[in-house]
Chains A and B, each alone.
Chain A
């Protein structure tokens, strides 16, 4: 399929042209008057911090979000907006950040479901048909596999395959590298280059400068919903100029290593070494959990976090990080091993008892595990004060509200009153509410699971500052993150998890390549080690 299409004037029509596109979600303006043109047959990167409007821009182009003002033109065809079928008809396909695949479907069913044929089918028939098609694409996918059984990287392949079913001419990938290992990112980029060679126009939504400079032909930078720089030829850019464009005036207030970590520019930081002689905040000795629906439990994890150090857990998502946090919290029963929290054995203790001993948790899912979005702020904050006591203990809401208000003010939460629902706060403010609840002086071990995911610069800096401050006050911190730049910026040590095991530990100076190798190559190791 040829990606070019000629307008009457005989000039090549742009693959995507946005004219003054504005999008509002309620009172929030997510995009304001963004105009840009992407030439066909090239790889275009759209770059920006969280909340810059990148995903919204991608969704407007794919017809998922209607623009309040302005319009989008695809290969010379003007879209009415807000109609996915129309955008797909024009050749736009969007690969979503959190994949849009029903988990119980097989790969063949996913492809059939988006495919062009409406009639009856047989299971065998579609499996054979789509397997042949997948083999032609060289994606290495099994058409019979269920989505929920696939590892994350393969799910992404399935999502790309889904997008290619209808001969996409403009393929948009929304933050495709966020879930991948460095190795997986390289493989993805190779595939993207292949697609480009076949004439497909690619739009990559990214937030790491290193990756952008490695793959993109042009770069477009968004900040706070506004276009900061139109498509600029990538070869004319350096990581410093891009960092300035992405962060804007806030850049001056950040130190160099934080700035580099924020935008994934790949700079190095030498944090203070931890204190090897400090007492341990937590000791895990050979802990294992039963394997669960996601396919892997923990197996024989040994890990120590000392007071006053930040230990990072690196790894591709779904390699046991959630199980690790749940096991330390006592929400996932152990099949073997010992857990000591502040020198007390805790394998069978309830979470309430562990919290009593100084455990604090910033959970993975801010809006599910961290907060009850439809409940008032003061209840969300106050729950921590109530769980230890009797269910019939008397509560004075007025007192809790006052304490919550004081805590929120100390953490610079922007809120109008403590009775408003937690869901009315922005992501950054919501995370600060969690910090204000979890980061009290009694904290001995803080489990911080993806604490900056989806946060803008200001909130990310607040989280980092809070973690460093807690370290300074003598708490041990276990930081789980899939962002190596973040880990390298603030951790004293980094452990790598693969398939529920800790396979390697690293200390500064960091070696991105070595850590990346550990995240992927070590996948074969368990089998070798199993031999006695």
Chain B
């Protein structure tokens, strides 16, 4: 038991360290650290209808995070969840446009599958560049995010533009109301079921298949797995495609569910937050479920803050960034530092 508890405590310690840094930043711009943090907690967990908001934001994040876990475990830093998420949404939107008028039972699954295909496609080229040419995937996937964001602008102001839309933000025509898998304010049994299915699939893949064991080994030492005769390239490409497909699925869920239409620049922090969830969960799919709901709560709080308290929503970005800064720190290093101070 204590073997399981230690990493949890370590993670907790580094999150506390991150919150200390956040507090310092809040103080330095003249915000009350405790006031801001407690407002964030309030917004996350104690606002009216909090559970629904947590699920609404947490579940799509969870779907993407499971994908991130699959690629990170295999040793590939697919930073491109955001771009794959966008491409998923875009492909689903195209599918929806194409299927206009068909029954929901046909259209919804096809749109979700189109989203997965779009996300996987957007992960495929960095995968090939990495595996065949050796181009580092951190930068290529990140550039993929920027390209996807521009593509989203193009799509929403061009091919899928809603002619009735008002000037402010370019967006596509709304999804047929009968196809929506949730209300715009919240979650629904369908989304919960999709997320649960993704978690079960992810857990099984990571813990109970040859792919899971070998990709975990390859993530820590690809050379060793090569010398064992495993097909590392195939593992790599599968990991990229799966993570892209899940991010794409999240994109199409957002489109068919709460968003209801494609808007340029929507949910710009989705991918980064999903990466954080994977890291805080220590690459465990089960832990990611809880962590995703926690970050879902933070996200919903970030939207609520400016409206209810006048605090800037950037406060949430700061919390996310600080956690990213500290979450991979080595506990041994912290211990060494403490003993150095004591000396």
Interface residues of chain A, those whose CB is within 8 Å of chain B, are: 329, 331, 350-352, 354-355, 361, 363, 365, 368-375, 379-380, 382-384, 386-397, 419
Contact = CB atoms under 8 A, between A and B. Distances in A.
Going nearest first, the 5 A-B pairs with the smallest beta carbon separation are A372-B221, A351-B229, A352-B229, A391-B211, A393-B210
A393 B213 CA distance: 11
B223 A387 contact: no
Contacts of A382: 213
Interface residues of B, number: 25
B216 interface: yes
B238 interface: yes
A374 B220 contact: yes
Contact of B229 (A354, A368, A371): A354
Contact of A391 (B224, B227, B228, B234): B234
With most chain A CB atoms within 10 A of its CB, the pick from B216, B220, B234 is B220
Contacts of B335: none
Nearest to B207: A397
A345 B74 CA distance: 33
Contacts, number: 93
A383 B226 CA distance: 10
B227 A386 contact: no
A379 B216 contact: yes
With most chain B CB atoms within 10 A of its CB, the pick from A355, A361, A387, A419 is A387
A331 B223 CA distance: 11
Contacts of B3: 419
B43 interface: no
Interface in B216-272: 216-217, 220-221, 223-231, 234-235, 238
18 contacts: A350-B229, A351-B226, A351-B229, A361-B227, A363-B227, A371-B224, A372-B217, A372-B220, A373-B221, A374-B220, A379-B213, A379-B217, A380-B224, A383-B214, A387-B225, A391-B209, A391-B238, A395-B209
A369 B221 CA distance: 8
Interface of B: 3, 207-214, 216-217, 220-221, 223-231, 234-235, 238
B211 A355 contact: no
A355 B228 CA distance: 8
Contacts of A355: 228-229
Contacts of B217: 372, 375, 379-380, 383
A329 B217 CA distance: 20
A394 B225 contact: no
A384 B210 CA distance: 11
Nearest to B227: A369
Contacts of B234: 391
B224 A392 contact: no
Nearest to A370: B224
Contact of B209 (A372, A387, A393, A419): A393
A371 B229 CA distance: 13
Contacts of A396: 208
Given A387-B228, A392-B209, 9 more contacts: A368-B221, A379-B216, A380-B224, A382-B213, A383-B214, A383-B217, A387-B225, A391-B214, A393-B209
B219 to A, nearest CB: 9
Nearest to B230: A387
A177 B229 CA distance: 34
Contact of B231 (A352, A375, A379): A352
B10 to A, nearest CB: 15
A355 B209 CA distance: 21
Contacts of A383: 213-214, 217, 224-225, 228, 230
B224 A368 contact: yes
Given A379-B213, A393-B210, A372 B224 contact: yes
Contacts of A384: 228
A517 B235 CA distance: 47
A331 B227 contact: yes
A386 B235 contact: no
Contact of A395 (B210, B225, B228): B210
B229 A395 contact: no
Contacts of B208: 394-397
A28 B210 CA distance: 36
Contacts of B210: 386, 389-395
A363 B212 CA distance: 24
B220 to A, nearest CB: 5
Contacts of A392: 209-211
Contacts of B229: 350-352, 354-355, 387-388
Nearest to B222: A372
A375 B221 contact: yes
B1 to A, nearest CB: 13
Nearest to A368: B223
